[in-house]
Amino acid sequence: MKKILLTAGALLAWTSCAVAAGGQTVAIPAEDYKAILERLDTLQKRVDQMEKAESPSGKAATAAMPSKLAKDVETIYDTLDKVETKTLKDRINLGAELRTRVDSFKLKDDNILGGDGTVDHNDNYWTNRFRLNLDSEIQKNLLFTGRLAVYKNFSNQGDTAGNDASQAHVPGDSTVKLDRAYVDWIPEGMPFPLALTFGRHPSSEGPPSELKEDRLRQSTYPSLLFDGEADGVVATVGLERYLGWKNSGIRFAYGKGYQDQDTNSVSYVDNGANPYDDINVYAMFFETEIPGVRDSLMVLSALHATDINGMNIPGGDKLGNMSLYGVHAQANNVADSGFDIFLSTGINKTDPSGRTFVHPVTGADIGLLNSDGTSEHTGWSVYTGLRYNIPYKAWNNPKVGFEYNHGSEYWASFTWGPSELYNKLGTRGDAYDFYYIQPFNDNLFGRLGYTHINYNYGSMSQVFGEPGESNAELDNVYFLLDVRF
């Protein structure tokens, strides 16, 4: 019995020491801690009395006491479990999301399917998406945020689709994907406000996606230009004290769109059997609350990607560079009207290298938004919409929204990981999107939506080859249930 009490005491001491070693203190009330120690002391004294008991009455008492003693020790262990659980929660906050969605698609006149007159549809397409959210204040100036995701088709039988920029945003199998994992470090003693962010960035589901997703802002970058998963390093300089504009700052970002990682050769030093240059991405963002407009956002973006390649297709290296520029403006509950509005614009410009590669299926020559390797092109897109918050408490204040985007013939951006099952913002043509959000309680909502897209040109934001004209049309009706806790 002494061993049991010693073990309980050791666990209690270890728990408190472990928390102190981590730089934090468990927020257990002092009186509770003192009560645990007093309980252990009382139990130890009772054990000592049992061992000294020699009379028949003492033996009878000894026989009766283990059951009560076991219950007391059980109580100690229950208390220790609660302390350890609270210790974990004090260090890492956990949250979860689960979404079940069903889509009904119809695609007409698509060139890949055979051109005019063709129709393909899927009336019963189901997916599940689970996310585990993590965050921790490691220290006052060191913050961690992470998200793991499992996004799968019902009864998935195929391989997971997508590349590294969309693994957690394209449905596939039941494997766990790293959606985001990054640290914000705010160095002390700097002459100006500075934050460094490194890891797998919050670069998906950016403004204005939070309106349709019915949540707070999820990403640094406006979704028209970049929507996907990305690894990199960002330096943010706060400008509010200098400009007087609320929440103003400038960000400098670096990441990679592609990195050679063939471990079967010496390609780590760019000397493999079939080497490809890395796609380096440099970006700068200025953002602020619009002066005089409450609960608003304006973001000016500039992004440059070098040495875009043909994704390991022979001869597809160094097709050229591409630059993106954008302006995003957004305001919530404008003039207390219940309306949230936004407007995004983007321009892309290519700088081809003169190289092309041969398409492995069609045999066509493929360059950077061209077929000759030399033609430069500029594309543009506009994305706008609104959401109305219906003030009807009996129905938990539902919301209704509309979005529209148009892309030109040579529009291209880095929207590889959208929340939808199709790349709406990569459309070269017109996309119309309607939705209705019905909250059922604070944790559960449903969304019913309809999307219609006219594809005037093909390839949906791909940067390879001439887009080519298209008469394709997509119609999709969907319904989803989303729970967050």
The Cα 171–Cα 152 span in angstroms is 4
The pLDDT tens digits for 3-46 are: 444 444 443 443 444 334 334 444 555 666 666 666 667 766 66
Using omega within 30 degrees of 0 as the cis cutoff, is the peptide bond preceding 467 cis? no
Two tokens at 168? 């957690």
Average pLDDT score over the chain:
83
The sign of the torsion formed by the CA atoms of 26, 30, 36, 41 equals positive
The Cα 83–Cα 75 span in angstroms is 13
CB 456 within 8 Å of CB 242:
no
| Residue 106 shares a structural domain with residue 64 | no
| Residue 202 shares a structural domain with residue 227 | yes
DSSP string, 370-421: SSSS----EEEEEEEEEEEE---GGGT--EEEEEEEEE-TT---B--S-SSS
| Residue 27 shares a structural domain with residue 108 | no
The Cα 5–Cα 42 span in angstroms is 11
| Residue 50 shares a structural domain with residue 193 | no
Beta bridge partners of 345: 327, 382
Beta bridge partners of 329: 298, 343
CB 239 within 8 Å of CB 245:
yes
CATH number of the domain bearing residue 118:
2.40.160.10
Angle, CA 75 vertex, CA 73 and CA 81 arms, to 5°: 105
Beta bridge partners of 447: 437, 480
| Residue 171 shares a structural domain with residue 146 | yes
Percent of the chain with pLDDT over 70: 75
Nearest partner of 455 among 478, 476, 426, 418, judged by Cα? 426
| Residue 50 shares a structural domain with residue 140 | no
Q: Which of 35, 70, 88 is the last residue of a domain?
A: 88
The Cα 411–Cα 348 span in angstroms is 7
Q: Which of 54, 69, 88 is the last residue of a domain?
A: 88
Beta bridge partners of 279: 258
- What's the average model confidence in pLDDT over 270-280? 67
Residue 466 in 3-state DSSP? coil
> How much is the pLDDT for 433?
98
The pLDDT tens digits for 92-144 are: 899 999 999 999 999 988 877 667 778 888 889 999 999 999 999 999 999 99
Collect all residues with Cβ–Cβ distance below 8 Å to 43 and sequence separation of at least 6: 5, 69, 72, 73, 76
| Residue 184 shares a structural domain with residue 298 | yes
| Residue 270 shares a structural domain with residue 387 | yes
- 182 has pLDDT over 50: yes
Q: Which of 88, 120, 153 is the last residue of a domain?
A: 88
The pLDDT tens digits for 383-432 are: 999 999 999 999 999 999 999 999 999 999 999 888 888 899 999 999 99
| Residue 60 shares a structural domain with residue 169 | no
| Residue 127 shares a structural domain with residue 39 | no
CB 328 within 8 Å of CB 301:
yes
> How much is the pLDDT for 97?
97
CB atoms within 10 A of CB 162: 18
Domain coverage including residue 49: 2-88
- Burial-class residue 136 by CB neighbours within 10 Å (0-12, 13-18, 19+): middle
Q: Into how many domains does the chain fold?
A: 2
| Residue 207 shares a structural domain with residue 264 | yes
The Cα 33–Cα 25 span in angstroms is 13
| Percent helix / strand / coil, the chain, rounded to 5 | 20, 40, 35
| Residue 414 shares a structural domain with residue 428 | yes
The Cα 471–Cα 462 span in angstroms is 17
- Rounded to whole angstroms, what are the CA distances from 126 to 151, 343, 392, 402, 438? 11, 32, 31, 24, 20
The pLDDT tens digits for 193-244 are: 999 999 999 999 999 999 999 999 999 899 999 998 889 999 999 999 999 9
